[in-house]
Amino acid sequence: MPLAQRVAALSAAAVLGTAALTVAATPAHAAPAQPALAEQATSVLLLSVVPHTTGAPRAAALRCEPVGGTHPYAASACQDLAAADGDLASLSGNPGFCTLEYAPVTVRAVGFWQDRPVSYTETFGNRCELLRETGSLFAF
């Protein structure tokens, strides 16, 4: 099983376990305040940035709904993804100019956006172009 599916399965198992404990601890006459966590769509992405020339590869895990993972700007990255409905190719980054420096960087994202599989790979001319095109998603 691919790593992203294992992460999503572990997250789902944790959510189901929490939901089961909540149901077991809730008296029969109490009405739930919000929908069960197990009903929410899974949004988990494993992200990587690999520079071709200098620098070390970096990776981060991003979870949305609820926001979490190891991504330093998880809330902003989840907002960017929500605005693009999980379509990484249509992310609207930050307009602006970048230098013409050639220092290619390849990014990858695998996982799930609201239970839909995501697989994205793209190479950018440099880090500035990457951030301009993808917003905060690969800003780690």
Query: Residue 118 sits in which domain range?
Result: 40-134
Token pair in block for residue 99: 């230098």
Is residue 15 in a domain? no
Is residue 89 in a domain? yes
Burial of 28: CB neighbours in 10 Å, binned 0-12, 13-18, 19+:
exposed
Q: Is the pLDDT of residue 19 over 70?
A: no
| CATH code, domain carrying 58 | 3.30.350.10
CB atoms within 10 A of CB 111: 25
DSSP 99: -
Is residue 18 in a domain? no
Total number of domains constituting the chain: 1
Q: Is the pLDDT of residue 29 over 70?
A: no
Q: What is the pLDDT of residues 39-79, one digit of tens each?
A: 567 899 999 999 998 889 999 999 998 999 999 999 999 99
Which band of pLDDT confidence, cut at 50, 70 and 90, is reported for residue 24?
very low
Is residue 6 in a domain? no
Is residue 8 in a domain? no
Is residue 101 in a domain? yes
Is residue 14 in a domain? no
Token pair in block for residue 6: 């294992």
Is residue 127 in a domain? yes
Specify the pLDDT at position 11.
44
Of 67, 62, 69, nearest to 109 (Cα)? Answer: 62
